[in-house]
Structure 1
Amino acid sequence: MVWVLFFIFGAVIGSFGNVLIYRIPLKQSVVFPSSHCPKCNKKLKFYHNIPIISWIFLRGKCAFCKNKIGFVYPLVEFVSGILMVLAYFYVYEIFNSLMLGVCFIILFCLSVIDFKIKMVPENLLFFAYIFAILSNYDRDLIAYHLINLNLYGTFFVDSLILAGAIIIIKTTVSVIKNRCKIYDNIEVMGDADTIIIAIIGAILGIKMGIIAIVLACIFMLPFFMYFILVKKQSDIELAMIPFLFLGLIFTYIFKSEIINLISLYYNYIQNL
């Protein structure tokens, strides 16, 4: 079954994603040295790196020093496999689904990294954006727009428009913050978040992209209020990328249901 192959492929990418998640916060190379135990530094054999399966057979311990291997490693691989399968079931073309799945996995890894250190590498953002654009690759559609010199309506332009709108909003909020001197230490949105929003626009388009951003804000609101009202903290630095990623995935899965709800609400308002 094809979805099984997609899951395996996603888990393999997730295995490399573990390298990114572990080494990038430590500012280590993701290429050299090769996979090794962080405790005893022994180089791992190829059969120690089989996604999920190796962790199960090793009972969550290093094959050499027997130190525990965190559950996060197989979890990242499993979630990556699920994200790849999700892309397969929601996208008809194999190439497009592969590109979307890889983009999802990169965004997932970026979410974990952002949660850990509140910053993400720009090169990963760039790769995620490229894969997002490729996930909507349609040779005939691109040829049509180029021939007619009309790029408006393509997901590439949608992503730029959405990112541009967010930059304007971010600038406006910063000006208001500086004028009013209210919660001056709260960073509303970083530059990386703007690029993530461009990626969301490339995947979902402008309209559904806005919905994904709104959902991300709704998901983030309870945590934000907790720090403001319960912890009484004015110096707040929440990782926004995990919430944007959740908003993207939720909107992508329930896109039809969201459109139907909006249509029902619109019809209800029209009949009042």
Structure 2
Amino acid sequence: MENCIIYIFLFLLGICVGSFLNVLIYRLPLNKSIISPPSSCPNCNTKIKPWHNIPIFSWIFLKGKCAYCKEKISIRYPIIEFLTGILAVLIYLKMKNIDIFYFTTFATFSGLLALAIIDIDYKAVPDNLNLLVLALSIFHSPNILENFKNALLVIGGMSIIRWYLSYFIKKEAMGEGDLIIGGVMGAMLGINLSLIAIFISAILAIIPSIYFLLQKKEPELPFIPFLALGTFIVWYFSNFFNSYWSSLYA
């Protein structure tokens, strides 16, 4: 019963954070303040009432439409809120404790979620949010100096790969935003698991790449969503991946 209450509390906390992520995702790329003005309908510009802005539930009660002009509200908003709520619960299931490191870890992965969506929309991410997520990742555990060192090493390694690839393919092989996410991976996972996470991210990216190839399209495929997902998968199942890594050298 006690665990059930904790799960409900964390899920509700998570969807509230998800609502804030929606604000970041919409406003940061447009260089708008995340504080003011208050949320309003993009179509009719009417200020949204507090009871029309309850995460997930308001979207359901309003049937996915603005309460005033009846313009459709994207289903992406409640999906992001729901995912953030699930994220809050999953991180607790992994860490089995609610302390300062739980909140820095949750903030890091929430930030990665926001960056992933922004990268999908704009094929670029704001440096202020990216650097904030990197800073949070360094403080996700008591081993702050080790996390910082690992972040620098992964950023350095990915930078070298970027230079060589860019030289041979004659175009930018990796964005600066990807390098900063590499630092987040290093801080969260360490060197060994970061290599596994990068490999998994590349495998995940192959699927849409093949689809676009079959469709004879050549879009600029955003890589941060795959890096973020790969990081979370390896972090959540770190015991398994650590055992696998050890078995390679047994």
TM-score, length basis structure 2: 0.90
For residue 94 of structure 1, the aligned residue among 93, 99, 102 is 99
Contact 2:29 2:126 in 1 (8 A): no
For residue 224 of structure 1, the aligned residue among 200, 204, 209 is 209
Contact 1:88 1:98 in 2 (8 A): no
Which segments of structure 1 move beyond 4 Å, counting only runs of 4 or more?
263-267
Does residue 29 of structure 2 align to residue 40 of structure 1?
A: no
Cα displacement (A) at 1:208: 0.7
* Matching residue of 1:210: 195
Does residue 169 of structure 2 align to residue 169 of structure 1?
A: no
- What is the distance in 2 between the residues matched to 1:265 and 1:156? 26
The one-letter amino acid of 1:243's match is F
For residue 193 of structure 1, the aligned residue among 160, 165, 178 is 178
The one-letter amino acid of 1:98's match is F
- What is the distance in 2 between the residues matched to 1:227 and 1:57? 37
Extract unaligned runs of 5+ from structure 1.
143-150, 179-183, 268-272
Cα displacement (A) at 1:131: 1.5
Contact 1:11 1:51 in 2 (8 A): yes
- What is the distance in 1 between the residues matched to 2:247 and 2:193? 16
The one-letter amino acid of 2:85's match is G
Extract unaligned runs of 5+ from structure 2.
none
- What is the distance in 1 between the residues matched to 2:236 and 2:139? 19
- What is the distance in 2 between the residues matched to 1:175 and 1:31? 43
Cα displacement (A) at 1:236: 4.4
* Matching residue of 1:72: 76
- What is the distance in 2 between the residues matched to 1:26 and 1:157? 33
Cα displacement (A) at 1:125: 0.7
- What is the distance in 2 between the residues matched to 1:164 and 1:48? 46
- What is the distance in 2 between the residues matched to 1:49 and 1:6? 19
- What is the distance in 1 between the residues matched to 2:19 and 2:135? 21
Contact 1:88 1:94 in 2 (8 A): no
Identity of aligned residues (%): 40
Q: Deviations over 1:7-46 (max 9, x none)?
A: 2222111101111222334443332221111111111111
- What is the distance in 2 between the residues matched to 1:176 and 1:61? 50
Higher Rg of the two aligned structures: 1
- What is the distance in 1 between the residues matched to 2:48 and 2:38? 8
Q: Deviations over 1:53-92 (max 9, x none)?
A: 2112222222222222221111111101111222222223
- What is the distance in 1 between the residues matched to 2:109 and 2:199? 19
For residue 147 of structure 2, the aligned residue among 143, 152, 155 is 155
Does residue 89 of structure 2 align to residue 106 of structure 1?
A: no
The one-letter amino acid of 2:161's match is I
The one-letter amino acid of 1:134's match is F
> How many correspondences in the alignment?
245
Q: Deviations over 1:152-210 (max 9, x none)?
A: xx1111111111111111111122234xxxxx4xx421000000010111111111111
- What is the distance in 1 between the residues matched to 2:7 and 2:133? 22
* Matching residue of 2:230: 247
Contact 2:155 2:180 in 1 (8 A): yes
Classify the secondary structure of the residue corresponding to 1:24.
helix
- What is the distance in 2 between the residues matched to 1:209 and 1:88? 22
